[in-house]
Amino acid sequence: MGKVPYSDLTSYYVNRPDRRAVDVRRAGVPECVVLGSFLYRRAYSPLPGHRHFGVAELAFVETGHQPYNIGGQRFLLVGGEGAVIPPDMVHSSDGQPSYPGKRFWLQLRLPQSPGARWLGLSSAEAKPLIDMLTAPINPSSKWPADFPHRISTLFNLLDRPPCPTRTAMVRTLLLTILFDLLDLNHASPLCAYRYKVKRATDWAESQLPNPVTLEQLADVAKLSVSSFKHVFKDVIGITPHAYLLRKRIERAQSLLRQGEKSVTDIALDCGFSSSQYFATAFKRIMGITPNEMLQNRNVPLPADADGQ
């Protein structure tokens, strides 16, 4: 199991049932440091702040949701959305757990000298891609619907026996992904509803660990409650009820880690009608019971976590 380079966070290439990370350089593509994926059934510890030196990262959420802090800017990525993380920029899960869901990440080392070829392109041909990875206009956005399929195709290619044709196919698929993202990297405003809903969720992330209500979210979005409920699922991918439930679970998690209150008191403080309902919802989202978290005070981070 080799260590992933160019980072100040200890991480490894690792394969296990819920997680995979591949060193694409071994396939003859030195620009691609790691291709990774995971499908978590429970929450893991927060991803600490870290950097990738000279390496840009593409992070994509296929299912679930995940808060990110990229260079001090907060994002909430939900299913179908991705983020471009520039090289050397500190990023983390903003103190929140790595939530259950399916995610992919791709790390690309940028040219180290002027005029160098990159992914088989001349420096002039590669410049728009390098500019996008270095200073994206849209750091986070809805990505092409077939992005998960393309990542799966990459993994399948890497499982083939090594040969020059495989190397060319991997490089071509990487370039196709990047050029598609380049088409999304322009200064066009989000649709009115998408902007309003995202403004509300960004505000909700800034309020942790304080409780947030549906009425407050609708007010921040400058929409009526009925209109907000109607458009929220189209924009975010989950209902406002499911989103607010996750916010209440996040607040409960913070209180449990403090260890100053009982599970029943925390359930009531976070707006749950009973400790039984709280325990059921908490385990479904976090993968462990409130009592287990109260006893352990943390969710252990696996030693082979990749630090995406």
Q: Which two tokens stand for residue 268?
A: 């009531």
Q: Do 179 and 129 meet the contact criterion of CB atoms below 8 Å apart?
A: yes
**In sequence order, which ranges of the chain are alpha helices (DSSP H)?**
123-134, 147-158, 164-184, 192-206, 214-221, 225-236, 240-258, 263-269, 275-286, 290-296
Comparing 170 with 302, the larger pLDDT belongs to 170
Name the pLDDT band for 230 (thresholds 50, 70, 90). confident
Q: Is the pLDDT of residue 298 over 60?
A: no
pLDDT band at 89 (very low <50, low <70, confident <90, very high): very high
pLDDT tens digit sequence for 132-152: 999 998 888 889 999 999 999
Q: Higher model confidence: residue 78 or residue 34?
A: 34
Q: Is the pLDDT of residue 208 over 70?
A: no
> In the predicted model, what is the mean pLDDT of residues 209-227?
87
Mean pLDDT of 227-241: 83
Residue whose tokens read 């809903």: 197
Q: Are 278 and 252 in contact (CB under 8 A)?
A: yes
Model pLDDT, residue 275: 87
State the pLDDT confidence band at 202, using cuts at 50, 70 and 90.
Answer: confident
Task: Kindly indicate the confidence band of residue 49, based on its pLDDT and cuts at 50, 70 and 90.
Answer: very high
Q: Terminus-to-terminus CA distance in the chain, angstroms?
A: 17
Instruction: Give the pLDDT of residue 173.
Output: 97
Confidence of residue 238 (pLDDT cuts 50, 70, 90): confident
CA torsion through residues 81, 232, 63, 273, sign: positive
Query: Does residue 187 carry a pLDDT above 70?
Result: no
Q: Give the DSSP per-residue string, 147-207.
A: HHHHHHHHHHHHTSPP-HHHHHHHHHHHHHHHHHHHHH-S--PPPHHHHHHHHHHHHHHHT
- How many Cβ atoms from other residues are within 10 Å of residue 18's Cβ? 12
Give me the pLDDT at residue 97, please: 87
pLDDT band at 88 (very low <50, low <70, confident <90, very high): very high
CATH of 192-296, one of 1.10.10.60, 3.40.190.80, 3.40.50.300, 3.30.365.10: 1.10.10.60
- Token pair of 74 as six digits: 């907060």
| Domain 15-184 indexed as CATH 3.30.1490.100 | no
Rounded to whole angstroms, how far apart are CA atoms 231 and 233? 6
* Predicted pLDDT of residue 191: 58
Q: Are 171 and 121 in contact (CB under 8 A)?
A: no
Rounded to whole angstroms, the Cα distance separating 104 from 17 reads 15
CA distance 17 to 37: 11
Same CATH topology for 15-184 and 192-296: the answer is no
CA distance 5 to 20: 16
pLDDT above 60 for 268: yes
Distance of CA 148 to the CA centre of its chain: 14
What is d(CA 197, CA 217) in angstroms, rounded to the nearest whole number?
8
Q: Could you tell me the two tokens for 136?
A: 């994206």
Which of the pair, 2 or 86, is modelled with greater confidence?
86
pLDDT grade for 306, boundaries at 50, 70 and 90: very low
For residue 103, pLDDT over 70 is answered with yes
Tell whether the model's pLDDT for residue 31 goes beyond 90. Answer: yes
Question: Would you place residue 188 in the very low, low, confident or very high pLDDT band (cuts 50, 70, 90)?
Answer: low
**Domain boundaries of the chain, sorted by first residue:** 15-184, 192-296
Helix orientation angle between 214-221 and 225-236, rounded to the nearest 10 degrees: 80
The confidence score (pLDDT) of residue 302 equals: 44
Q: What is the average pLDDT value for the chain, to the nearest integer?
A: 87
